[in-house]
């Protein structure tokens, strides 16, 4: 019998409608369990670690990621897998952060939640939790099938650091534009093992140092010099995620390039990702991105925004020299980016 730890952080999955306030409020895991008797019929030995009070995912912080990583580290040898119940709004951020923090992960860490509270008749919470539990406990010939941090939602399993929440209303809330699903759930769960990371032969190493001195500069037509300089003048700034157009393009006005050059000259890392959900940054492909190369902007390739932000926090927290830091950003650490064009079909 597989032994699974459920970590309940909060989110819509654990909310009920309060008649007095006319708003959703969080509930404890016992009430979730009462609405999900199927858990006891799965043949899985499960235990629960519940955050008290539950956390709305909009309040998620790097300190909580460190706490989650510590919970898994402290109990790693006692469980076969982990299921994290989490609000959907920042689930991709948490999944991405944990993927970097849990080096040499050899057990499933599956995040899931729901779009409707578990007490609602049409809730998607039951299927999401039950299938996430099954995935976390699945072995083939004694071997772990998915030794990764993943998100399971609406019949699809995605690599956590490749996922993005794209819809606030559909049950199909997440997708992964630049990498195929790792599994699809129908009558059976069909694993696409060719896309899954191999099981490492090294012991788990947990990284708890994150540097949140990062900011985001999103390009748009008409962006002003004052706005750019305000964003780039944050005290203690160490990293910038530059959300550029298309394949990494920005405007080429001298003041804009000079503003970026001032921070890169100070050692601030500027990582260029595309605003598009799909596709990759190719610095130098167009003339408008060539100046970025010349001033030392780093390509984020096809990373999601969520992966880029959390990876920057993770890498900056390692205390490496500038060259090693830049190299780590451009290197695929946990399958979060594709360095070169690749056809996954």
Q: Would you please indicate which residues are annotated as catalytic (active-site) residues?
A: 12
CA–CA distance, 166 with 163 (Å, rounded to integer): 9
What string of H, E and C letters represents the secondary structure of the chain?
A: CCEEEEEECCCHHHEEEECCCCEEEECCHHHHHHCCHHHHHCCCEEEEEECCCCCCHHHCCHHHHHHHHHHHHHHHHHCCEEEEECCCCCHHHHHHHHHHHEECCCCCEEEECCCCCCCCCCCCHHHHHHHHHHHHHCEECCEECCCCEEEEECCEEEEHHHCEECCCCCCCCEECCCCCCCEEECCCEEECHHHCCCCCCCCCEECCCCCCCEEEEECCCCCCHHHHHHHHCCCCCCEEEEEEECCCECCCCHHHHHHHHHHHHCCCEEEEEECCCCCCCCCCCCHHHHHHHHCCCEECCCCCHHHHHHHHHHHHCCCCCHHHHHHHHHCCCCCCCCCCCCCCC
The torsion angles phi and psi of 92, rounded to 5 degrees, stand at -65, -30
């Amino acid at each position: 019998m597989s032994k699974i730890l459920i970590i309940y952080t909060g989110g819509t999955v654990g909310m009920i409608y309060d008649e007095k306030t006319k708003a959703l409020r969080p509930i404890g895991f016992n009430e979730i369990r009462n609405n999900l008797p199927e858990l006891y019929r799965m043949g899985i030995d499960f235990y629960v670690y519940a955050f008290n009070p539950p956390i709305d995912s909009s309040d998620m912080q790097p300190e909580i990621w460190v706490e989650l990583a510590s919970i898994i580290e402290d109990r790693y040898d006692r469980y076969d897998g982990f299921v994290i119940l989490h609000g959907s709004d920042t689930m991709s951020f948490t999944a991405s952060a944990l993927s970097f923090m849990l080096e040499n992960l050899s057990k499933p860490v599956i995040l899931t939640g729901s779009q409707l509270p578990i007490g609602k008749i049409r809730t998607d919470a039951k299927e999401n939790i039950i299938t996430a539990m099954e995935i976390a406990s699945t072995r083939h010939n004694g071997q772990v099938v998915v030794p990764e941090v993943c998100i399971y939602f609406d019949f699809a399993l995605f690599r956590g650091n490749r996922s993005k929440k794209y819809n606030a209303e559909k049950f199909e809330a997440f997708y992964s534009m630049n990498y195929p699903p790792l599994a699809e759930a129908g009558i059976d769960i069909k694993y696409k093992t060719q896309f899954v990371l191999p099981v490492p032969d090294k012991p788990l190493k947990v990284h708890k140092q994150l540097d949140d001195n990062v900011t985001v500069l999103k390009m748009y037509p008409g962006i002003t010099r004052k706005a750019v300089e305000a964003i780039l003048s944050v005290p203690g700034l160490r990293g910038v995620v530059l959300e550029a157009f298309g394949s990494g393009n920005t405007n080429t006005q001298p003041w804009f390039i000079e503003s970026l050059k001032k921070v890169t000259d100070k050692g601030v890392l500027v990582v260029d990702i595309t605003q598009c959900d799909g596709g990759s940054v190719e610095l130098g492909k167009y003339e408008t991105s060539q100046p970025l190369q010349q001033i030392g902007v780093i390509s984020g390739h096809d990373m999601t925004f969520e992966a880029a932000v959390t990876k920057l926090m993770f890498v900056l927290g390692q205390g490496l020299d500038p060259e090693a830091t830049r190299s780590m950003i451009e290197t695929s650490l946990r399958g979060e980016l594709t360095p070169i064009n690749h056809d996954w079909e």
